[in-house]
Amino acid sequence: MIKPDFTQPVPADLGVVHFIGIGGSGMSGIARILIGMGHKVTGSDLRDTSNVAALRELGAEIHIGHDAAHLGNPDTVVVTSALWPTNPEYLLAKERGIPVIHRSQALAYLTTKKRLVAVAGAHGKTTSTGMIITALLELGVDPSFVNGGVIAALGASSGAGKDNLFVIEADESDGSFLHYDTAIALITNVDPDHLDHYGSLEAFEQEFAKFARGASELVAISSDDPGAVRVGAMLPEKKLITFGQAENADVRLTAVDASGAQVAFTVSARGQSLDARLRIPGLHNAINAAGALAVLIGLGFEPEPALRAIETFGGTERRFELHGERRGVKVYDDFAHHPTEVAAALAAARAVVGGGKLITVFQPHLYSRTRLMHKEFAEALSVSDQVVVLDIYAAREDPEPGVTGAMVSDSFDNQAQVHYVPLWDDVPAVAASLAGEGDFIITMGCGDVYRMVPALLTALES
C-alpha cells in the first residue's frame, strides 16, 4: 500500500477531482458530496459496483480498471492507503505534479468550519455512526455525514445537510483520523488491530489518545473495553463521558436481552432509567447504542428523546444483512473481519437462528491479520455449527509465504466443524451441501466475499 503524504497541501479549491478507487464506501461518500457541491468528479475502480452505478447517475465519469489513460486532466487526485504504489494513475498524477491528497484530507476539507463528530474504534464505527446520523435526523437536525457503509433507511453512505453539524466515521488504520478538527469524539473500543502499521499495542493506544485529546468539546469512550479504559486514563476527566456495562459508566447498560432478533436493554443516564428495544440484534449493538446516546447527550439532547430516536435505526448494509431465502435456508452477509467483531456478529446470529444450524462462510482479510490472529479467528468462528474458510483477501498487502486461510481452519479444535476451500468457485456448493431447512448461511469478511451471495442462493436452489 502507499504511505499517505500528509505534507501535501490541500488546494483551496479542489476543482475537477479524480478518485482512484472511487467505489469504496468512504471514497464514494466523499465523491457524492463533492458532486453535490458542484465539482466535476471522475474516477476509476476495479469493479462496476452499486456505488459506482450510483455515482454515474449523479454525473461522475468512472472507468473500470486502473490505467494511466483514465486519469484525464484533473485539478486534484484523491487516493486511499489501500492503493498500490505502482498504480499507473497515481504515478502519472505524481509525474505531472497534480496535487495527490489522501481520502482523509478530502474529508477534512469538507468538514472545515463545521461542528464535527468523529467516530473511531477498531470495530462498531459504521453502526455507531449510522445510529447517530439516523437519530439526529429523527430529532429534526439536518447534518452532513460520511459513513463507512450505506445506512439502510437512507440508501446512502453520505449526505450534505443544511445544519452546522458534520458526522463522520474516522479511520484509525493508517493514523489518518488525527487529521480532523474534531469537536466530539466517540471511541467505540481500542481492540488491537492494524499492528502492521503501528508496530505495537502501546503505539496503537497512544494514537487513540492523540485523537481523543484533539477533541475540543467531549470524548465519549467505552467503559468496558480494556484498551479504551487505558486510553481514557490518559485523558482529562472533564472531557469524558463513558458508556457501557461497567458500574461506573456515565451511560450504563443493564438488563440486556440479546436472545432474539431485536436486542432489548435498560440504559441509565443523567439520573434517568430508560427501557429500549432496537430493530437489530446483538449485545454489541446495545453497546453501540449506548455510545451513540453518549454523543447525543454531549450534543445537548435529553436522554429519552435521544434514545427513542436511536431506536428508529434500521441497520447498515453488510451488517447482518439478509439477502434471500432458498428451500428454507436464509442467506445473510456481514462485514465482520476482526475476531472480536466475528464473535459479536455470530453471537447475534446464533440468537436469531433459533434451532437451525449456523453455517459461516469466512474470508480472512489481510495476511498480517491472519498470521497474528488465526487462533483467535478459529475460536470466534467455532460458535458456528459449520465453517467454510476461504483463502485470504489480500487488500493492500503482498502475500506472505505460508500464510493462507488454512492457518485459520487448522486452528480449530474440532476439525469436523471446518472446511478449508481455497477455490472460490467450489465454495457455494460446499456451503449449500451443509445447509437444510431452517438453517442460516452467513458470508463474513470485509473483502469481496459478499459477491458470493448470488452463487450461494443458486447453489441452494440446485
> Which residues fall within 8 angstroms of residue 454, CB to CB, at 6 or more apart?
none
> DSSP labels for 268-331?
EETTEEEEEE-SS--HHHHHHHHHHHHHHHHTT--HHHHHHHHTT---BTTSSEEEEEETTEEE
- Judged on CB neighbours under 10 Å (0-12, 13-18, 19+), 271 is exposed
The strand pairing partners of 253, in sequence order, are 267
Residue with cell 492494524: 194
Catalytic residue among 125, 182, 321, 360: 125
d(CA 418, CA 424): 16
Catalytic residue among 42, 49, 126, 182: 126
All three cell numbers of 355, joined, read 434451532
* Under 8 Å between Cβ of 290 and 278: no
- Judged on CB neighbours under 10 Å (0-12, 13-18, 19+), 98 is middle
Half-sphere exposure of 397 (CA within 13 A, CB side): 20
> Which residues fall within 8 angstroms of residue 95, CB to CB, at 6 or more apart?
none
d(CA 157, CA 148): 7
Q: What's the Rg (C-alpha) of the chain?
A: 22
| Interior/surface letters 415-435, b for 16+ CB within 10 angstroms, e for the rest | eeebbbbeeeeebbebbbebb
Nearest Cα residue to 432 out of 404, 409, 453: 453
Catalytic-residue membership of 375: no
Catalytic residue among 89, 114, 169, 397: 169
- Judged on CB neighbours under 10 Å (0-12, 13-18, 19+), 402 is exposed
Catalytic-residue membership of 162: no
d(CA 134, CA 280): 14
Q: Tell me the three state secondary structure of residue 185.
A: strand
Catalytic-residue membership of 205: no
Q: Tell me the three state secondary structure of residue 336.
A: coil
Please list the active-site residues. 125-126, 169
